[in-house]
Amino acid sequence: MNERQERIEQLAERWTEARTTNAEEQELREALREDDLPDSLQDLALLFEGLEALGAERMPGELSAIRPSGETTSESAAGRVARGRIRMQQPRRRGLLWTIAAAAVVALGLFLGIELLRDPYCYIDGRPVYDREEAMQTLAYFESFALLETPDQLLEELIDNQN
């Protein structure tokens, strides 16, 4: 094994043990970008490539994404970020719609629960009446039954007088 590969493996071992300095980590990153890596370092190179891609992501609204090396990302990377923004907005909209639907179901449940649990003011003709004013207006009709007592008494007097 040549000295270059030994150095890369030594840096990889130190990095996995979290003992590298920033300069050593940068050296390892640059070494893992090479094409002629042994199979034992291919997974680590893939991990570093993924970490670099994650580091290039930015919040929507930022004008440009900056790579760790300080250079601006290429047009294709900006396209990936834009496509990522579109994919992120769809779940947010779906979540918003589910939130609105859940709030509507809760409001409907509360309304129906209040309607079913409240006690009626009275019953008129077997129908529950919840409005006090409606019940009081209906009671006004019962006053006319009081007038029926008087003819009943008159009838009794007439019967008594005939005897």
pLDDT tens digits, one per residue of 40-59: 888 888 888 888 888 887 77
Quickly state the pLDDT bin for 73 (edges 50, 70, 90). very low
Q: For the residues of 59-86, what is the DSSP string, one character each?
A: -TT-S--B-TTSPBP-HHHHHHHHHHHH
Rounded to an integer, the average pLDDT of 103-128 is 83
What's the whole-number mean pLDDT along residues 82-92? 54
Mean pLDDT in residue range 5-22: 88
Q: Whole-angstrom Cα distance, residue 44 to residue 33?
A: 10
Q: How far is CA 108 from the centre of its chain?
A: 19
Q: Are 12 and 48 in contact (CB under 8 A)?
A: no
User: What's the pLDDT at 130?
Assistant: 80
- In one letter, which amino acid is 132? R
- The tokens of 19 are what? 């003992």
Q: Write down the residue that tokens 């923004």 correspond to.
A: 85
Supply the pLDDT for residue 128: 83
